[in-house]
Chains A and B, each alone.
Chain A
Amino acid sequence: MTMMTGAEIVIRCLQEEKVEYVFGYPGGAVLHIYDALFKQDQVKHILVRHEQAAVHAADGLARSSNKVGVALVTSGPGATNAVTGIATAYMDSIPIVVISGQVPNDYIGQDAFQECDTVGITRPCVKHNFLVNDVHKLALTLKKAFYIANSGRPGPVVVDIPKDVTAAKCKFEYPETIQMRSYNPVVKGHLGQIRKAVHLLLEAKRPMIYSGGGVILANGAEQLTRLTRRLGFPITNTLMGLGAYPATDRQFLGMPGMHGTVEANLAMQHCDVLLAIGARFDDRVIGNPDNFASIPRKIIHVDIDPSSISKRVKVDVPIVGNVPDVLDEMLRLLDGGNAAPDAEALAAWWQEIEGWRAKQCMKYTRKKNVIMPQYVMEKLYEVTAGKAIVTSDVGQHQMWAAQYYKFDEPRRWINSGGLGTMGVGLPYAMGAALQHPEMPVVCVTGEGSIQMCIQELSTAKQFRLPIKIINLNNRYLGMVRQWQEMFYGSRYSESYMDSLPDFVKLAEAYGHVGIRVERPEEVEPALRKAFTDYKDDLVFIDFITDQKANVFPMVAAGKGLADMILTEDL
Chain B
Amino acid sequence: MRHIISILLENEAGALSRVAGLFSARAYNIETLTVAPTEDVSLSRLTIVTTGTDAVIEQITKQLNKLIDVIKVVDLSEAAHIERELMLIKVRATGKDREELKRLADIFRGHIIDVTESTYVIELTASGAKLDSFIQAIDAGLILETVRTGVCGIGRGERILKV
Contacts and interface: CB of A to CB of B under 8 A. Distances in A.
Q: Do A and B come from one complex?
A: yes
Interface of A: 119-120, 123-124, 127-128, 131, 148, 180-183, 305-307, 310-311, 314
Contacts, number: 38
Given A120-B17, A131-B13, 15 more contacts: A119-B14, A120-B14, A123-B17, A123-B21, A124-B25, A127-B68, A128-B68, A148-B68, A181-B71, A182-B9, A182-B69, A182-B70, A305-B66, A310-B55, A310-B58
A306 B17 CA distance: 22
A127 B69 CA distance: 11
Nearest to B15: A182
A305 B66 CA distance: 8
Interface of B: 9-10, 13-14, 17-18, 21, 25, 55, 58-59, 62-63, 65-66, 68-71, 163
Contact of A182 (B10, B17, B58): B10
A127 B18 CA distance: 11
Given A119-B14, A123-B14, A182-B10, A306 B68 contact: no
A490 B17 CA distance: 45
A128 B66 CA distance: 10
A311 B66 CA distance: 14
Nearest to B25: A124
Interface of B is mostly: helix
Nearest to A133: B13
A307 B62 contact: yes
Contacts of B68: 127-128, 148, 180, 182-183
B90 to A, nearest CB: 33
5 contacts: A120-B17, A131-B14, A307-B66, A310-B55, A314-B55
Contacts of B63: 307
Contacts of A307: 59, 62-63, 65-66
A314 B25 CA distance: 22
B71 A182 contact: yes
Contacts of B62: 306-307
A306 B61 CA distance: 10
A419 to B, nearest CB: 15
Contacts of B25: 124
Contacts of A181: 71, 163
A148 B10 CA distance: 16
A181 B10 CA distance: 9
Contacts of B70: 182
The residue in B9, B14, B17, B68 that gathers the most chain A C-beta atoms within 10 A of its C-beta is B68
A238 B63 CA distance: 24
B59 A311 contact: yes
Contacts of B65: 306-307
Contacts of A310: 55, 58
Contacts of B9: 182
Nearest to B8: A182
Contacts of B55: 310, 314
A180 B71 CA distance: 9
A557 B66 CA distance: 29
Contacts of A123: 14, 17-18, 21
B13 A124 contact: no
Contacts of A120: 14, 17
A181 B162 CA distance: 12
A200 to B, nearest CB: 22
Contacts of B163: 181
